[in-house]
Amino acid sequence: MIDKVPPEAIIAVMEREAQMLADDLARGRMPLEGEAHSILSFCHFLEAVRSGVEISPVVLSMTDTAFYRKTTERLIEAGKLPENAKVQFDIVFSKPALKSLSSVS
């Protein structure tokens, strides 16, 4: 869905999605795993980048990591995130994902 949203609207859409997921989690309608964990992690990243706060690394699937990296690049190109968001993305998502692959035997 996000890949079809104009970059100018992505952050607002993600914020709304995070609110809905947080409500579902608070009401026990779903566990914090899989897609919910992935979406909330990316929303947390967007909030942190925009406020200049560093966050801890998060391991997501390679598919999600690639998708969110592309989304981050779209947001940077649209001027919605600072240029250093790519570096922050790699620290938070890409490096942990690659490290998790190397530890799988």
- pLDDT digit string (tens) for 50-85? 999 989 999 899 999 999 999 999 999 999 999 999
Please give the pLDDT value at position 90. Answer: 92
Task: Give dist(CA 88, CA 66) in Å, integer.
Answer: 14
Helix (H), strand (E) at residue 51: helix 34-51
- Please give the model's pTM, rounded to 2 decimal places: 0.83
